[in-house]
A and B are shown apart, each in its own frame.
Chain A
Amino acid sequence: MTTANAAPLTGQAAAIQGLREGAPLFLAVLFGATLLAALGNLAFPEDSLFHVSTYTITLLGKYLCYALLALAVDVVWGYCGILSLGHGAFFGLGGYALGMYLMRQIGDRGVYGNPELPDFMVFLNWQELPWYWYGFDQFWFAALMVLLVPGLLAFAFGYLAFRSRVVGVYLSIMTQALVYALMLAFFRNEMGFGGNNGLTDFKDLLGFDLQADTTRVGLLIASALALGLAYVLSRWIMGSKMGRVIVAIRDDEPRARFMGFRTENYKIWLFVYSALLAGIAGALYVPQVGIINPGEFAPLNSIEVVVWVAVGGRGTLYGAVIGAILVNYAKTRFTAVWPEAWLFALGGLFVAVTVFLPQGIVGWFRQRVGRAAS
């Protein structure tokens, strides 16, 4: 590698290289903004110019969770060409796993005051906790499940799909079916996950009151740390030889196989890695928004994530983050003024990006920089 890096790069190549190696810049912006927001919320009084409202803090935390989910999609789609339209499945499962812990934390403070059963189970006249709720009163167990459940599902799905060499649009349709099936299943009351109301009315997390400003700020910082860590780890993977094999699989899988790489194994493990990131994003998302319901498994949600990545620019990691934050900011603004039109705006945005910015915002920016440099 040293020799490859030592070779002088010129013009556009140099500019792109500079952007690509921008991990320190990315982390500086991410943590800088997070710290400023945290300070603004905790250190400045409400009438100060620099005050950041708790609403904004939660909103930012939510955006960062979405950014992490977009990063997960970019890892498989942008680098390996696996267009997953079902990442909401892993996001939702991660969210449910943490949501179950939060439900158990409520204890006897629920409406029905049952120390053992969550409210919706009492409402359904259930007498005892289903076996799959065991252990979720322990944070470490829930945290393990946040990783294990999405990871195992991704492994099983990837094992079946990639070994059978399902690729392209067929794979995308299967991921849609996966997330849709989960939505239907979680809508059923008998599943024991709260039916269409989902899990909500959370009180505290690890003993911290979820309504407190400090907890909100803490969750924002945790989200920023998770995103930063995932970014660095993904950057490292993509910069290793494995990253080059993954891109080779994206561009010409039979050729990579012919070189002796077991491409299906690479795809399975990359898919699992991506699902873990999505699961973590979901787990951080739930305590901040205060609810998780089967709506998270709606196929449309998963497609939206792909739009974020496309808008930001795929195959760059930070493009996905930028896209997720920008589109969601637009969504927050837009739905406040004219909620019915949001889907049209989103569709229009997707078409516009596909036609005018095929490489997304980041690709367009790179082109500009490259032109300026040469």
Chain B
Amino acid sequence: MRALDNLRNFMRPDQVFPFLIERQPPAVDTSHRMILYIEDLSVSFDGFKALNKLNLYVEDGELRCLIGANGAGKTTLMDVITGKTQPDQGEVWFGQTLDLLGRNEAEIAGLGIGRKFQKPSVFEAQTVYANLELAMKMHKGILPTLFARLGSEQLDRIDEVLTTIGLSEQRAMSAGALSHGQKQWLEIGMLLMSDPRLLLIDEPVAGMTGQETERTAELLTSLAGERTVIVVEHDMAFVRSIARTVSVLHQGSLLAEGTMSEVQNDPAVIEVYLGEGH
């Protein structure tokens, strides 16, 4: 009888079959202003504590810089947030309701967390435009891709991103012909095409010229507000130029947090990270 009831319920005329309902990624609930909650997070590799009871909260729309010496746990933290590494203990919540632990990388990317790696990885043989088109949020199956035509909304979206990353004039150029800095921007643009709420960006200005660094600072500042941006960076001048809040990691824990000048004057930070030179 149970099976019959199930069938009846399944066949109810007033609703669509459950498998036909398009699954929307659950919305991020930021009603308490925070978009990312990291609590009591520990990760160890063969006894080495990469993260040690780390607590970190990031506000919605914030531009946050993470700094710390090598081995402070910055990359491990990024790995945990994006689902590449599972922690030993602790909690990571995206908004009020979404638990990120136990989800795989693709799922987390689908929730709206985009990550840019240090090394630019754009498709060099293709044009800037095609790179953005490939990264667009769309059906990734074969037949939809074969017959894909860009609607005016999507064309506008690509144009908008091209303007944001300042590569409108290079749209028809092959990505391989771009400078190092332009490739980095293109990759940020590819991230933006998937419309993420939270962007994790690893060392964006490494190897950039002074002018390119400045442009990157402008770009990242302009992204914050609508999106939340977390930047890992070693370049102190760059961090000073963009960050309103800086978090200093040390040996897997949060050492200090505040504006750049507060952090710089924090005796603990001076001692372990900025060194005697400051």
- Asked, given contacts A240-B147, A248-B123, A255-B123, whether A262 binds B140 with beta carbons under 8 Å apart, the answer is yes
The minimal Cβ–Cβ distance linking B160 to chain A, given in whole angstroms, is: 12
B135 and A259 contacting across the interface, CB-CB below 8 Å = yes
A108 touches B (CB below 8 Å): no
A240 and B146 contacting across the interface, CB-CB below 8 Å = yes
Residue in B closest to A269 when the chains form the complex, CB atoms = B142
Q: Out of B106, B121, B142, B155, which one reaches A242, CB within 8 Å?
A: B142
A1 touches B (CB below 8 Å): yes
B interface residues, how many (CB within 8 angstroms): 31
Provide the bound-state CA to CA distance between A285 and B152, in Å. Answer: 47
Residues in B neighbouring A1, C-beta threshold 8 A: 149-150
- Asked, given contacts A13-B172, A262-B140, whether A4 binds B145 with beta carbons under 8 Å apart, the answer is no
B150 and A242 contacting across the interface, CB-CB below 8 Å = no
* Chain A 239-254 interface residues, beta-carbon cutoff 8 Å to B: 240-242, 244-245, 247-248, 250-252
Residues in B neighbouring A240, C-beta threshold 8 A: 145-148
A251 and B124 contacting across the interface, CB-CB below 8 Å = yes
Provide the bound-state CA to CA distance between A244 and B149, in Å. Answer: 13
A interface residues, how many (CB within 8 angstroms): 29
Residues in A neighbouring B130, C-beta threshold 8 A: 4, 244
A266 and B142 contacting across the interface, CB-CB below 8 Å = yes
A241 and B121 contacting across the interface, CB-CB below 8 Å = no
Provide the bound-state CA to CA distance between A2 and B146, in Å. Answer: 17
A9 touches B (CB below 8 Å): yes
B148 and A241 contacting across the interface, CB-CB below 8 Å = yes
Q: Out of B105, B134, B142, which one reaches A248, CB within 8 Å?
A: B134
B94 touches A (CB below 8 Å): no
Residues in A neighbouring B134, C-beta threshold 8 A: 241, 244-245, 248, 256, 259
* Chain A 100-115 interface residues, beta-carbon cutoff 8 Å to B: none
Residue in B closest to A270 when the chains form the complex, CB atoms = B142
Residue in A closest to B174 when the chains form the complex, CB atoms = A13
The minimal Cβ–Cβ distance linking B88 to chain A, given in whole angstroms, is: 26
A260 touches B (CB below 8 Å): yes
Residue in B closest to A244 when the chains form the complex, CB atoms = B130
B123 and A252 contacting across the interface, CB-CB below 8 Å = yes
The minimal Cβ–Cβ distance linking B175 to chain A, given in whole angstroms, is: 10
The winner among B106, B121, B142, B149 for most chain A CB atoms within 10 A is B142
B142 and A265 contacting across the interface, CB-CB below 8 Å = yes
Provide the bound-state CA to CA distance between A1 and B147, in Å. Answer: 13
B121 and A252 contacting across the interface, CB-CB below 8 Å = yes
- Asked, given contacts A251-B123, A266-B142, whether A260 binds B172 with beta carbons under 8 Å apart, the answer is no
9 A-B pairs whose Cβ atoms sit less than 8 Å apart in the complex: A1-B150, A4-B129, A7-B129, A7-B172, A244-B133, A244-B134, A250-B125, A251-B123, A255-B121
Other than the known A4-B130, A240-B148, A242-B142, what 10 A-B pairs have Cβ atoms closer than 8 Å? A3-B159, A4-B172, A13-B172, A237-B146, A247-B126, A251-B126, A259-B194, A260-B140, A261-B145, A262-B141
